[in-house]
Amino acid sequence: MLISLSPFSNMMCQNAMPLRQTFNVVKFYGEGLVDGCHAKNREWTNAEIIAIPDEEIFGVDSIFCAILDNNLEAGTYPTLINDIDYYKIQKRKSDALVYTDVANVTHASGLTTYVDYSSKNFQSYVYSISPVDITGIVGFDQTKFGSHNFFGWYLSAIDNSVCYRFDMNLQSDAIKRNEDVKIYDNYTQYAVISTGVRKYLSGKLSTMPYSISISGEDYEIDLETLDLVRDFITNGEQKYLRNTIGEVWKVNTKGFENKFLDNIIENPYNIQFEFIQTNLGLCE
């Protein structure tokens, strides 16, 4: 929608809706004083336009947010001369100083969002997104604070491509810490004990997986969901496992079982699987 300002009491007027087009160049014509230019990838209502603050920041829908500073470098990242190759995503705890690499998202992929499934519950993080050009030069970063507050257990792929939330009919068995302890019964009053470095957790989780309908109003417990969850749990790859209290581990999963509830006409099912900790993960 084309919006213009009327000289009479700043009244809004609207022109006819133009055809949708794609633009890759911004040009200013005539005399004027421009401090900044913010392009967003969405349509704005009159109320939103009126409520625009004096100073805007780069956001989720932003294409670029240029602060011109008496020059014509209208890019969001004026330090980069060459084309952007990828975006480096990093994070750190809000009370830490050092960032940890999370992912590199290529510019060619066209992705505009990234979901991090490796973060702890109730932990505040600072995320940093930096553009990197084709020569490896890193531009100015944009930072964002984020935290979680969820219930249940989450099992997700290391590359963040798949994530399952388990919160229905959920039950976890005792989580065991497996230690390398050997007891030697010698001809002495007390046994001799030696310990190694092995310390990993293992446990078992039981739940009823489900999928949300497209409308978001109903949940479904069907054969397709069972097949997808079974294939994911038994694929032999490392995964992230998170719980409500705030623990997160890299794990391998095995021992998948499912039991149908035959006394219910819809014939739902519970699943059960074991997990073995393989690494502390990225979030310690």
Q: For residue 4, give every residue at least 6 positions away whose Cβ sits within 8 Å of its Cβ, in sequence order, or none.
A: 13, 15
Query: Could you tell me if 272 and 166 lie in one domain?
Result: yes
Query: Could you tell me if 252 and 142 lie in one domain?
Result: no
Query: Could you tell me if 205 and 263 lie in one domain?
Result: yes
Number of domains in the chain: 3
In a domain, 181, yes or no: no
Query: Could you tell me if 113 and 224 lie in one domain?
Result: no
Q: For residue 230, give every residue at least 6 positions away whose Cβ sits within 8 Å of its Cβ, in sequence order, or none.
A: 256, 258, 271
Q: Read off the pTM.
A: 0.64
Instruction: Give CA 100 to chain center in angstroms.
Output: 14
pLDDT of 118: 81
Query: Could you tell me if 64 and 89 lie in one domain?
Result: no
Q: One-letter amino acid identity for 200?
A: Y
Query: Could you tell me if 128 and 208 lie in one domain?
Result: no
Q: Which residues of the chain have pLDDT under 50?
A: 1-15, 281-284
Query: Where is the domain boundary, 55, 76, 97?
Result: 76
- Long-range pairs for 108-113 at CB < 8 Å and ≥24 separation? 112/60, 113/60
Query: Could you tell me if 269 and 218 lie in one domain?
Result: yes
- pLDDT tens digits, one per residue of 177-203: 998 888 888 888 888 888 888 889 999
- Residue that is written with structure tokens 């993080």 in the block: 125
Query: Could you tell me if 228 and 261 lie in one domain?
Result: yes
Domain that holds residue 236: 153-174+200-279
